Amino acid sequence: MSDKNLGSESLSENIEEYLEILYKLSKGDQLVKTSKISTNLNIAPGSVTQMLKKLDAMGYVKYSPYKGAILTETGLKKAKSVTRKHRLLEKFLHDILKIKKEKVHDQACDMEHTLSDDAERALCHLLERPDECPDDEELIPACNFSFQSCEECMERKNEEVEQVGNRKENLVSIVDLHEHEKGKVSFIRGDYKVIRRLMDMGITMGATISMMQIAPFKGPVEIAVRGSKLALGREIANNVFVELIPENIDNNGAAVHG
């Protein structure tokens, strides 16, 4: 989408693109420099600064001049939702429509803004709860509907997402936790067998997990739960989502973590 003229698109699409890129570059919780956004979106730094100020005013980011921007809780939530739609669409275009890997990104960029929540959910069912998108193997964030597991989502198939309602909290996959961070298990993605195995090991809804070690090269993670230490392979850990338990609130008021 680098060669596109963003000016002709509607404001909300424009905002979503910014949030998406901020989410990707910040890995959830790091300050992103204006210049970095500028190169990634291929937009002049001046325009980026202006947009960041606008986003700051809307409460989506915290912008500090000469330093860059960081997503707020609200911004993070919106960013995740757009990113999720984007990555689900990529997966759909690649796996189902058999479109070439190089082309799915741009196509998904165009489609993501108009995808409804119900369509997003249907896509997730169709793709059988995917956890990684095809082009860069990035994690697909959890949905924003207030389900505790995919089983529940399947069982309440007849209800529309509006009836289900949205989650109050921002969910983080445990692979995005930093060492010694803690979270409360709120959602497990995956089929019943995985959920059963995890529950037997003490990873039940509401249980507190703390991150011990993260092996490099997309290796497993080591967590502590209910007094025991467990190693979870990345494919499983990807799918365990927690609500972050803040140890100390960040002093600049921005999200402690995404």
Size of the site for another protein (CB under 8 A): 42
Other beta carbons within 10 Å of 72: 20
Q: Which of 160, 142, 167, 156 is nearest to 80 (CA)?
A: 142
- Residue 4 C-beta: closest distance to another protein, Å: 37
Q: Is 198 in the site for another protein (CB under 8 A)?
A: yes
- Residue 225 C-beta: closest distance to another protein, Å: 8
The helix-helix angle for 34-41 and 11-26 (nearest 10°) equals 120
Span of 26-34, 62-70, 113-121, 148-156 interacting with another protein by CB under 8 A? 148-156
CB 226 within 8 A of CB 234: no
Q: Candidates 24, 113, 184, 218: give the one binding another protein (CB under 8 A).
A: 218
- Residue 16 C-beta: closest distance to another protein, Å: 30
Cα dihedral 120→125→129→133 (10° resolution): -50
Structure tokens at 135: 């082009």
Q: Is 139 in the site for another protein (CB under 8 A)?
A: no
Q: Candidates 214, 242, 244, 255: give the one binding another protein (CB under 8 A).
A: 214
Q: Is 162 in the site for another protein (CB under 8 A)?
A: no
Buried-state track 237-247, b at ≥16 Cβ within 10 A, e below 16: bbbbbbbbeee
**Closer residue to another protein (CB): 82 or 198:** 198
CB 128 within 8 A of CB 102: no
- Residue 100 C-beta: closest distance to another protein, Å: 22
Q: Is 207 in the site for another protein (CB under 8 A)?
A: yes
Residues within the interface to another protein (CB under 8 A) = 148-149, 151-152, 155-156, 192-202, 204-207, 212-220, 222, 226-236
